[in-house]
Amino acid sequence: MGTLPLMPPTTLDAETLTLAGPGTIGRIVRVLLAEWNRFGQQVMMDGRVVQRGWRETQTGFDARVGLFWRYGTGLSYDGDDTDQAWSAAFISYVMRTAGVPDQLFPRSRRHSTYIHFAQQNALANDPDAAFVAHRLEQYTPKVGDLLAYTRSGAADYDRYVNRDRYKSHTDIVTYAHHGEIGVIGGNVADSVTLKRLKRGSAGRLIDHSHAWFAAIENRLPPR
């Protein structure tokens, strides 16, 4: 369970990760990698788990999920509340732990809250926005960005522009290397999981394992 995947878990250099201050991409990735390592480095490819990690209901890990809920959203669930999806709570925990202010990234139990926020930033062409949504066919994801997919309909960016509540999911990019993008998210196959996704020659996401429809650009400094 301690074996690293074939691709590196991040393409950030060690100095950036070490020196990254609060509210930076490097700090976000540090928090992500720490939790991924804590949960046993689970890896998914083509929609299936190829390296198994620890589960949300296992002793100690259920309490860790409880920390994601409390610190990320203020709610008091834990990993034994299996009817409560904790993926957005995990992203919210990561952002808060990394020192990202709420006014730049609105923490929520729903991914759709901050997807909508980033789409509105894009519509407003806000030069001060830290997170800005893009259509996948028009943007090349980089480390620190979020990739979003829907669980409630077609993978259509415009379908969700004016909606802030729908079933969805996001993961955070930790590397973009050759023909692959690595993203880490929570509550993926009951753990903190690294997904290895395909990308084309232009660097755009071409993975079809989920209904991906948006990339959220992270404009925070690297460190």
Tens digit of pLDDT for each residue in 30-52?
999 999 999 999 999 999 999 99
Would you say residue 196 lies in a domain? yes
Does residue 1 belong to any structural domain of this protein?
A: no
Range of the domain at 146: 14-56+110-218
CA pair distance 61, 67, nearest whole angstrom: 10
| Sheet with 131-135: strands ordered across | 48-51, 42-45, 191-198, 180-188, 168-177, 146-150, 212-218, 131-135
Over the stretch 126-165, which tens digit does the pLDDT of each residue have?
Answer: 999 999 999 999 999 999 999 999 998 889 999 999 999 9
Q: What length does the chain have?
A: 223
Which of 101, 130, 99 minimizes the C-alpha distance to 117? Answer: 130
Angle (CA) 63 66 68, round 5°: 120
Q: Answer yes or no: is 115 within a domain.
A: yes
Structural domains of the chain, count: 1
Pair of tokens at residue 192: 């903190």
Decide if 5 is inside a domain.
Answer: no
CA distance 211 to 153: 8
Give Cα separations from 110 to 39, 206, 214 (angstroms).
Answer: 22, 25, 16
- pLDDT per residue as tens digits for the range 176-213: 988 899 999 999 999 999 999 999 878 899 888 899 99
- Kindly state whether residue 66 falls inside one of the protein's structural domains: no
Tell me, yes or no, whether 214 lies in a domain: yes
Query: pLDDT per residue over 76-110, tens digit each?
Result: 999 999 999 999 999 999 999 999 999 999 999 99
Query: Cα(42)–Cα(142) distance, rounded to whole angstroms?
Result: 21
- What is the rounded CA–CA span in Å between residue 161 and residue 39? 34
Confirm whether 189 is domain-assigned. yes
CATH of the domain at 134: 3.90.1720
The CA angle 47-139-49, to the nearest 5 degrees, is: 10
Query: Is 78 inside any structural domain?
Result: no
What pTM value is reported for the model? 0.95
